[in-house]
Amino acid sequence: MATAALVVVDVQRDFCEGGSLQVPGAEEIIKPINNLRSIFDVVAFTKDWHPENHISFAKNHVGHNIFDTTEDHHGVKQVLWPVHCVQHSKGAEFHPLLIHKDSDILIHKGVDPNIDSYSAFWDNAKQRQTELKKRLVEKNISQLYVCGLALDYCVAYTCLDAVQEGFDTYLILDCSRAISSASLTVKLNELASSGVKFTYSSLCNKK
């Protein structure tokens, strides 16, 4: 029985080349993720799945610009982003080259208009939990290998929450890309000090 799962975070059109919130080098991770997924019996994918009136969209804040920082209703720091991954939009679709199956776990996050949700486990205020932990526990998963977009935001927060939820957690560096090199350095230090381990797809054995 599988004890390890692969978690692929937000490899969606809006975060890839030509998308509204393009992550540099995003397309480079698709082939290694496709190659990697075949060695895992359990694979989970996440999607940002925002309503049009989502709090993270700069256009919904009069007098603010993209990448400004404000606070949400819970007092949590909120970066204001371009409109991205709106529910049922083309930008919210997985990248067309990403291999995913109906049997895979699929988690939608960021669905509440009043709170963002970087992590695949919790919203940013820790008010609402997704079904990811429940689905993984049902499959007796204890070890997670996490990758995707963007490393310095949704991937990092997913890793941090995975550790907090008791999973032995590995970040696959070559299957992830970051928005900013500056924020990446800060997040990698935080991840390391929180117990997240770093690895590469070439080092992942049969799980």
The reply to whether 175 belongs to the active site is no
Has 109 been annotated as catalytic?
Answer: yes
> Which of the residues 14, 16, 85, 109 is marked catalytic?
109
Catalytic residue among 10, 48, 116, 161: 10
For residue 145, give the nearest of 189, 177, 175, 103 by alpha carbon. Answer: 175
Q: What are phi and psi of 132, to 5 degrees?
A: -60, -50
In whole angstroms, give the CA distance from residue 167 to residue 53.
34
Nearest-angstrom CA–CA distance, 39 and 120 = 22
Helix (H) or strand (E) holding 21: none
Active-site entry in 16, 147, 154, 204: 154
204 is catalytic: no
Strand ranges for the chain from DSSP E: 4-9, 42-48, 69-71, 77-79, 105-109, 143-149, 168-177, 197-199
> Active-site positions?
10, 109, 154
